[in-house]
């Protein structure tokens, strides 16, 4: 599978962006999907994860109430709606697909569960 992330850009604090992750070459159906981010000088960290059914989600504490992850299996696309953006949200955002298909239908955020990664899209939030 190839994952193509898009939708990043520059925005002022308080603004919104919607990231998209489109898959090609394979399906997203049955796979847990996640968004991760890496800020300069920091390790990559999970932002949001959605289970393969869409029934379970995980959000990092820092984005709860502001970000929403969703998926459209028919379009083979996962989205991350980001509202009320803060300068500390500045990072390269990556989407990822779990290694296991039709696994436990949960929103675990362990990066080691994800075997396919997109190329990243840069989000810059200015104050």
* CA–CA dist 105, 30 (Å, integer): 9
Q: Single out the residue of 9, 28, 21, 17 nearest to residue 92, CA to CA.
A: 9
How many Cβ atoms are within 10 Å of 31's Cβ, its own excluded?
Answer: 27
Residue 104, pLDDT score = 86
Is pLDDT above 90 for 118? yes
Is pLDDT above 90 for 107? no
Give per-residue pLDDT as tens, 13-45.
999 999 999 999 999 999 999 999 999 999 999
Give per-residue pLDDT as tens, 44-99.
999 999 999 999 999 999 999 999 999 999 999 999 999 999 999 999 999 999 99
Residue 51, pLDDT score = 96
Q: Quick one: CA dihedral 83, 28, 26, 35, positive or negative?
A: positive
Q: Single out the residue of 2, 4, 11, 1 nearest to residue 123, CA to CA.
A: 11
Stretch 118-127: mean pLDDT: 96
Asked if 11 contacts 124 with a C-beta cutoff of 8 angstroms, the reply is yes
Give 106's pLDDT tier (boundaries 50, 70, 90): confident
Stretch 1-12: mean pLDDT: 97
């Amino acid at each position: 599978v190839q994952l193509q992330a898009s939708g990043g850009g520059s925005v002022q604090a308080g603004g919104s962006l919607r990231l998209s992750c489109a898959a090609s070459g394979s399906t997203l159906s049955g796979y847990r999907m996640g968004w991760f981010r890496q800020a300069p000088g920091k390790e990559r960290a999970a932002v949001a994860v959605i289970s393969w059914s869409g029934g379970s989600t995980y959000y990092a504490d820092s984005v709860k109430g502001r970000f929403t992850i969703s998926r459209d299996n028919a379009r083979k696309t996962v989205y991350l709606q980001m509202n009320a953006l803060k300068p500390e949200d500045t990072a390269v955002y990556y989407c990822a697909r779990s290694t296991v298909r039709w696994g436990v239908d949960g929103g675990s955020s362990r990066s080691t569960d994800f075997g396919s990664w997109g190329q990243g899209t840069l989000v810059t939030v200015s104050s």
